[in-house]
Amino acid sequence: MRPCLMPIGGPKGPVAQPCSCEVSAVSDVTVALESAAPEPAPGATPGTATSQAGAAVAQLLVDAGVLTPDQVAHARRVQSKLSGPKSFARVLRDLRFVSSDQLRQCLQTHRVEARLGDLLVELGHLTPADLKLALALQKATPEVKLGAILIDNDLVPEHDVLEVLAFQLGYTFVPASQCVPDSALVKQVPLRWFRTHTAIPIRVERGSVLVAFGSPHDENAVAAAKRVFGEHVVAGIAPRRAIETAIARLEEAKPAAITTENSLVALVETLLGDAVRDGVSDIHIEPQSDRLRVRFRRDGVLVPYKELPSSIGPSLTSRLKVIAKADIGERRRHQDGRILFETGRGNIDIRASFYVTIHGEKTVLRLLNNRETLLKVNEINMAPRMLQRYLDDALDAPSGVIIITGPTGSGKTTTLYASVNHLNNARTSIITAEDPVEYVIDGIGQCSINARINLSYEETLKHIVRQDPDVIVIGEIRDLFSAETAIQAALTGHKVLTTFHTEDSIGGLLRLLNMNIEAFLISSTVVSVVAQRLVRRVCQACAEDQPLSTRDIDRLGYQEKDLAGVTFKVGRGCAACGHQGYRGRIAAFEVLVLNEAVKEAVLTKRTSYEIRRISAQSSGLVTLFEDGILKAAQGLTTHEELIRCLPRLMKPRAIPELRRLLGVV
């Protein structure tokens, strides 16, 4: 039987609760839960078999007649026998005792007595590890609500947080698309009232007024709404930005903008200075429908920096175009530019990209040489035997092409410069063609491409071999001309180092073939292809052991027995890493050396799978994913980073075998 609902007043607004006629009808679900569930372990993680939120949800479902106590007890027994953590609500759905629609309908009509974080975990919106991180962040800033922390750190989408918060408080959830105020209700109060209380009246239904609040915990706002619209107010929760946008439209006034030249200069200086100080690789300035969002890419992941009024967007973009020497009068086409930003440790070269979107021009600034020092080749975290093979068979070879490959932002340039620095000595002539020069190295001739004065790649590469070089560095193979130049230079006895954009080392060879470079030229000139990726490094200040679930082990390509005795790590989050659990990045490598067997496979145009298999058997190739697995087994990164960043192109070999191949103890 569905319980009847009676409105309850008070500062938090009306809450749907069972009436007194049903309170006396005590369910047997509590007995079933207590008898079937194991004793809670000290410090148990929310979302496991000991979850109080799961018990609260089960109680609601039984009270609503959706479940029986016997079904609850059976689901608890199933949950207790699972090897990995799974929420009780998920177990109920998997057993088909309850559907997602039934669960949502029950939660919408009954208030849930559970903490917000636990309820988000129980409903599958949040992982226990992310909840632990959010609670640590809240401990550092106790004045900030948990929901705001989850949203601001992109741990849970705002829609899901607000919907579950509505379940918890007994409010009505109002999606952003429905945040349209009722014109008749708006006329009952001054416009400044909406801004003061961050609330708008949505509609009248069944004699009650639904009011959407942007601050659901603000009791004064709910009380003020009752004074204006009467006691029959139904409190709703809506995205704060959606409410503010609706209010702005009502006021027909634009937000205050920063328009003075001095303010814009100071804003740009602060933006770039903070990015340089934090070791950021990219700055994203993104116009949205109601705001200007600024994000930093730190350790390969975008993190929020700040939000600005949308009206400042055109002025800020124009200022950046001025210092990037782009056309400030052109706003209909995409543009590029460069900024030389002076810092205390020297100049930072910044590549600017202006991209036209429906809300205005989006700007991305890439900080090209935002590093204190140039790494040595033995400091790039290449495994001992892999590094020795790279030095002996590639860098120390008298001639040939060495290709460093990977996607944008994978650390190719760092490895390239470390390799060039290793070759730099008084007896060697090194000359480069780069777009642009990212690190200045004494003793070598570096050329920065500048298309505006017709100093193009084509023009530079024509003259580069006339400089009597021993080593030629081509910043990137970007077309057939640069590929042919590298091949021809290697044929005449030069050593050539360059970068390429491919998924793995074998892909570098195949892409050369696809560029119509003859197979015999590739096999006779390319000596090595190095593929790499960057994965986030576990913060050593807060690292702790992380047991893997059966699904995690399966995704890595192993069985449980294969990982016996192997311990993986995860960062729980601390002040040192900004409560992210990661601090810095580490590279995973794949070094392909073209021996006779691999050259024969290239000449006969074998498939990538066959070339990879032959390389693994004959030249000791260790794939990117295998190198990452060994780094995770050493506690340097997490298995989640491997899944997120590294290609899985073949079944990984046993960890003892990988240790032998890479020379890792």
Cβ-in-10-Å burial (0-12, 13-18, 19+) of 423 comes to middle
Predicted local distance difference test score (pLDDT) of residue 387 = 95
Contact 582, 571 (CB under 8 A): yes
Residue 372 lies in a domain: no
Predicted local distance difference test score (pLDDT) of residue 371 = 64
Q: Is the pLDDT of residue 655 over 90?
A: yes
Phi, psi for 203 (deg, rounded to 5): -165, 170
Instruction: Answer yes or no: do 557 and 505 share one domain.
Output: yes
568: left (phi over 0), alpha (psi -120 to 50) or beta: beta
Cα 131 to Cα 147: distance, rounded to the nearest angstrom: 11
pLDDT in tens, 133-148: 888 888 888 888 888 8
Residue 617 lies in a domain: yes
Confidence of residue 362 (pLDDT cuts 50, 70, 90): very high
Tokens representing 546? 């992380």
Predicted local distance difference test score (pLDDT) of residue 28 = 38
Contact 348, 276 (CB under 8 A): yes
Cβ neighbours for 137, distance < 8 A, ≥ 6 positions apart: 144, 149, 153, 573, 579
Instruction: Answer yes or no: do 545 and 418 share one domain.
Output: yes
Q: What is the length of the chain?
A: 665
Cβ neighbours for 370, distance < 8 A, ≥ 6 positions apart: 275, 276, 279, 280, 281, 348
Q: Which SS3 state, helix, strand or coil, does residue 182 take?
A: coil
Instruction: Answer yes or no: do 389 and 320 share one domain.
Output: no
Tokens representing 376? 């040595």
CATH code for the domain in which residue 217 is found: 3.30.300.160
Confidence of residue 179 (pLDDT cuts 50, 70, 90): confident
Predicted local distance difference test score (pLDDT) of residue 260 = 62
Mean pLDDT of 23-42: 36
Q: Is the pLDDT of residue 641 over 90?
A: yes
Contact 381, 362 (CB under 8 A): no
> Which one of 170, 205, 220 terminates a domain?
170
How many other C-beta atoms can be found within 10 angstroms of the C-beta atom of residue 547?
A: 11
Contact 412, 387 (CB under 8 A): no
Please tell me which of 8-17, 57-66, 279-288, 434-443 the model is most confident about, judged by mean pLDDT: 279-288
Alpha carbon of 354 to those of 261, 294, 368, 474, 631: distances in Å? 20, 14, 17, 26, 38
Tokens representing 582? 């990661």
> Which one of 333, 348, 367 terminates a domain?
367
Contact 598, 610 (CB under 8 A): no
Residue 256 lies in a domain: no
Instruction: Answer yes or no: do 414 and 515 share one domain.
Output: yes
Alpha carbon of 550 to those of 121, 234, 344, 553: distances in Å? 20, 46, 50, 5
Cα 227 to Cα 108: distance, rounded to the nearest angstrom: 26
Predicted local distance difference test score (pLDDT) of residue 528 = 95
Cα 17 to Cα 30: distance, rounded to the nearest angstrom: 19
Instruction: Answer yes or no: do 89 and 166 share one domain.
Output: yes
Residue 211 lies in a domain: yes
Q: Is the pLDDT of residue 44 over 70?
A: no
What Rg value do the Cα atoms of the chain yield, rounded? 30
Predicted local distance difference test score (pLDDT) of residue 556 = 93
Cα 625 to Cα 590: distance, rounded to the nearest angstrom: 9
What percent of the chain has pLDDT above 70? 89
CATH code for the domain in which residue 559 is found: 3.40.50.300
Cα 165 to Cα 163: distance, rounded to the nearest angstrom: 5
Mean pLDDT, the chain, integer: 84
Which range marks the domain in which residue 316 is found?
A: 261-367
Instruction: Answer yes or no: do 398 and 331 share one domain.
Output: no
Instruction: Answer yes or no: do 595 and 503 share one domain.
Output: yes
How many other C-beta atoms can be found within 10 angstroms of the C-beta atom of residue 264?
A: 18
pLDDT in tens, 234-249: 989 998 888 888 888 7
pLDDT in tens, 578-626: 778 899 999 999 999 999 999 999 999 899 899 999 999 998 899 999 9
Predicted local distance difference test score (pLDDT) of residue 84 = 66
Cβ-in-10-Å burial (0-12, 13-18, 19+) of 580 comes to buried
Confidence of residue 521 (pLDDT cuts 50, 70, 90): very high
Predicted local distance difference test score (pLDDT) of residue 451 = 67
Count of domains observed in the chain:
4
What percent of the chain has pLDDT above 90? 35
Considering the entire predicted model, what is its pTM? 0.66
DSSP-H helix ranges across 468-549: 480-491, 505-514, 519-525
Predicted local distance difference test score (pLDDT) of residue 391 = 95
Cβ neighbours for 331, distance < 8 A, ≥ 6 positions apart: 314, 356, 361
| Higher local confidence (pLDDT), 377 or 442 | 377
Maximum pairwise Cα distance, the chain: 96
Contact 46, 132 (CB under 8 A): no
Low-confidence winner among 175-189, 264-278, 442-456, 530-544 (lowest mean pLDDT) = 442-456
Cα 571 to Cα 284: distance, rounded to the nearest angstrom: 27
Cα 589 to Cα 532: distance, rounded to the nearest angstrom: 4
Q: Which SS3 state, helix, strand or coil, does residue 326 take?
A: coil
| Distance from the Cα of residue 525 to its chain's centroid | 38
Cβ-in-10-Å burial (0-12, 13-18, 19+) of 246 comes to buried
Instruction: Answer yes or no: do 63 and 189 share one domain.
Output: no
Instruction: Answer yes or no: do 118 and 183 share one domain.
Output: no
Residue 289 lies in a domain: yes
Q: Is the pLDDT of residue 14 over 70?
A: no
Instruction: Answer yes or no: do 186 and 166 share one domain.
Output: no
Instruction: Answer yes or no: do 162 and 72 share one domain.
Output: yes
The conformation of residue 647, written as its DSSP 8-state character, comes to -
Instruction: Answer yes or no: do 149 and 17 share one domain.
Output: yes
Residue 421 lies in a domain: yes
Which amino acid, 147?
G
Nearest Cα to Cα of residue 414 among 375, 453, 441: 375
Q: Is the pLDDT of residue 507 over 60?
A: yes
> Which one of 251, 269, 285 terminates a domain?
251
Q: Which SS3 state, helix, strand or coil, does residue 315 take?
A: helix
Contact 623, 574 (CB under 8 A): no
The conformation of residue 332, written as its DSSP 8-state character, comes to S
Cα 533 to Cα 590: distance, rounded to the nearest angstrom: 9
Residue 578 lies in a domain: yes
Phi, psi for 54 (deg, rounded to 5): -65, -40
Predicted local distance difference test score (pLDDT) of residue 452 = 67
Cα 257 to Cα 315: distance, rounded to the nearest angstrom: 9
Mean pLDDT of 77-99: 81
Contact 213, 222 (CB under 8 A): yes
Cα 31 to Cα 28: distance, rounded to the nearest angstrom: 5
